[in-house]
Amino acid sequence: MAGSFFDRHLVWWSSRESIEAEKISLLAVAEVIFSVAAYWWIAWYFDTYAHLLVSVLVAPLVLLRSDESVALGVEMFSRYMSGEQTSLRSAKGVSLVAVSGLAAGGAGWLAADWFLVGHEGWLLLWRSMLIGLFALTVGFAVAVAAAATIGEAAAVAVAGVVAGVVATAVVVAVAAAGAAAGAAAGVGALAGATTGYSFGILIRAGATRLVASLRHIHRSAAAFPKNWRRTLFQIDLRCAPELVPGIGEERPSLNFGATIKYFFSETSIGAKALGTILIPILFIPSLLYRYSIKSTCWLYLPLIYLAHLPGRLRDGEGRLIWVRSLPAKFIEGIRFALAVLTLGIAFFALLDATALHALLTAAGAGVTPVTIFSLLVVLDFGDIRPWHYFTLPSAALTILLVLWLDSIRKDEAAGATVDALGWKITTAIYANQVRTLLVYSWMALALYYFADYAYGRCLLPDWMAPLLEWRFGPPPTCLAPGE
């Protein structure tokens, strides 16, 4: 039985077939755990949460895609990669050269203002060369990214424009340092051009993905939960990264494996050196995006849970069956009783006896009536503890949900149709989702407080205490029984 369940729902690692069948990859799950732990360790060790914030903000942009946006992205990027060469004498070519030249000049000027001040001699010389190569890289990246097609010669022409920015630094370096520095400058210029070329394609690929998603934003937004689950739990390291989703199938030459084979099957050292620069720049960011999304599991998992409905609740009859069965369950009666008890205990725990006495005295003297708003006076909200933020809303939702479902059942008995009850049933389903999430959150918080209590009183096993030291501090000195 276990084997059949594994075959239906789980695989050790992903494949094209398992992804299409929406099977969970155990390797992908391990990657989620590793990514979340790694990102939070970085936050703790370096005392920064910038990378977490970036991951949370980037995830929707990467996951907003649908079948229509993927097809559009593939068509746009294919046209970009295979377009005809544009003459540099055309208005488009001149514009590209001008834009890339300005970008290179601006990058060089800003870098010089920060990187050269206070230096002289050989250090100034080599830093000037580095700034020239940086400007060259920026110029190529802007030219390639802005080109209508990769076949345009603007990326080559920008070298002439950038030469005006870097000529002084490179010429002085060659004259002063001799042949070794001249060779280094030549090799560095080639590496800078290749790096800029790679970043230009990468920027264009990102822009293509974003534009294609925005063109079909409604379908892309609807597919967000599915894309999120696929990225987290169905895609793993065995699934090759892509510049643009689906481009590897449409143009095999842009597939990750084909790109590696193309460059590293060549016998020339130059081809291998070019691939060593180009491949990491083009494909490693896709992997980083993937693990960045996996690291957001802690935030988006509750939201996806709220938005996702089981298949049996996606049609009117299935929802009506759910409504009919829920009020009749014995467990719902227990939940209702516990909810009332929870609110009652919280009321007496937060009750300010002095304020209550003053209110009753004022009411007896006819100064003020006792109403529901009197709770704002007699309850001390300063005594609210963190667990109250989960237990009180879940208890209130439980009471309201039972009454709401009973109302739906009475409407049905009075002859209301499924369509007429649709909005009320949908409200009940999502309220139940929110209640379940609150209960799970409260259980996690309760586990945290229990661990804190047990750690401070040496009630945990010896192997567990060191694992919690980073959070609860050095373990207390505990005496053995009888000491």
Residue 39 has pLDDT above 60, yes or no: yes
- pLDDT for 3 equals 53
Q: Which residue from 205, 103, 97 is spatially nearest to 145, judged by alpha carbons? A: 205
Q: Among 274, 307, 340, which residue terminates a domain?
A: 307
**303 inside domain:** yes
Q: Are residues 468 and 379 in the same domain?
A: yes
Residue 434 has pLDDT above 70, yes or no: yes
- pLDDT for 153 equals 43
**50 inside domain:** yes
* Model confidence band, residue 325 (pLDDT cutoffs 50, 70, 90): low
Average pLDDT, the chain: 75
pLDDT digit string, tens, across residues 57-67: 777 777 788 88
Q: Are residues 193 and 233 in the same domain?
A: no
**214 inside domain:** no
**156 inside domain:** yes
Q: Are residues 301 and 323 in the same domain?
A: no
* Model confidence band, residue 154 (pLDDT cutoffs 50, 70, 90): very low
Residues 216 and 66: beta-carbon distance below 8 Å: yes
Q: Among 287, 307, 327, which residue terminates a domain?
A: 307
Q: Are residues 396 and 375 in the same domain?
A: yes
Residues 188 and 129: beta-carbon distance below 8 Å: yes
Q: Which residue from 472, 482, 463, 74 is spatially nearest to 249, judged by alpha carbons? A: 74
- pLDDT for 194 equals 77
Beta bridge partners of 207: none
Q: Among 254, 278, 307, which residue terminates a domain?
A: 307
Query: If you average pLDDT over residues 125-134, what whole number do you get?
Result: 77
Q: Which residue from 8, 70, 19, 6 is spatially nearest to 240, judged by alpha carbons? A: 19
**216 inside domain:** no
- pLDDT for 171 equals 39
Q: Are residues 203 and 227 in the same domain?
A: no
What is the Cα–Cα distance from 312 to 167, expressed in whole angstroms? 69
Residue 332 has pLDDT above 80, yes or no: no
Q: Are residues 386 and 325 in the same domain?
A: yes
* Model confidence band, residue 87 (pLDDT cutoffs 50, 70, 90): low
Q: Are residues 299 and 333 in the same domain?
A: no
* Model confidence band, residue 327 (pLDDT cutoffs 50, 70, 90): low
Residue whose structure tokens are 């006819």:
366
Contacts of 61 (CB under 8 A, 6+ apart): 210, 213
Residue 251 has pLDDT above 50, yes or no: yes
Residue 421 has pLDDT above 80, yes or no: no
Measured between alpha carbons, how far is residue 145 from residues 77, 149, 274, 345 in Å?
A: 11, 9, 19, 64
Choose the weakest-confidence range: 111-115, 197-201, 298-302, 400-404: 298-302
Q: Are residues 355 and 380 in the same domain?
A: yes
Q: Are residues 325 and 453 in the same domain?
A: yes
* Model confidence band, residue 34 (pLDDT cutoffs 50, 70, 90): very high
Choose the weakest-confidence range: 164-168, 245-249, 449-453, 472-476: 164-168
Q: Which residue from 190, 199, 137 is spatially nearest to 162, judged by alpha carbons? A: 137
Residue 423 has pLDDT above 60, yes or no: yes
**169 inside domain:** yes
Contacts of 94 (CB under 8 A, 6+ apart): 88
Residue 465 has pLDDT above 70, yes or no: yes
Q: Are residues 299 and 324 in the same domain?
A: no
Q: Which residue from 19, 61, 57, 58 is spatially nearest to 209, judged by alpha carbons? A: 61
pLDDT digit string, tens, across residues 368-409: 777 777 777 788 777 788 878 888 888 888 888 888 877 877
Q: Are residues 136 and 274 in the same domain?
A: no
Q: Are residues 94 and 115 in the same domain?
A: yes
The number of domains in the chain is 3
Burial, 434: exposed, middle or buried (Cβ in 10 Å; 0-12, 13-18, 19+)?
middle
245, two tokens: 């989703």
Residue 40 has pLDDT above 50, yes or no: yes
**125 inside domain:** yes
3-state secondary structure of 150: coil
3-state secondary structure of 379: strand
What is the Cα–Cα distance from 442 to 394, expressed in whole angstroms? 9
Residue 441 has pLDDT above 60, yes or no: yes
Please give the share of the chain, as a percent, with pLDDT higher than 90.
Answer: 2
The residue among 358 and 171 whose pLDDT is bigger is 358
- pLDDT for 30 equals 92
**70 inside domain:** no
- pLDDT for 342 equals 85
Segments forming the whole domain that contains residue 24: 2-64+223-307
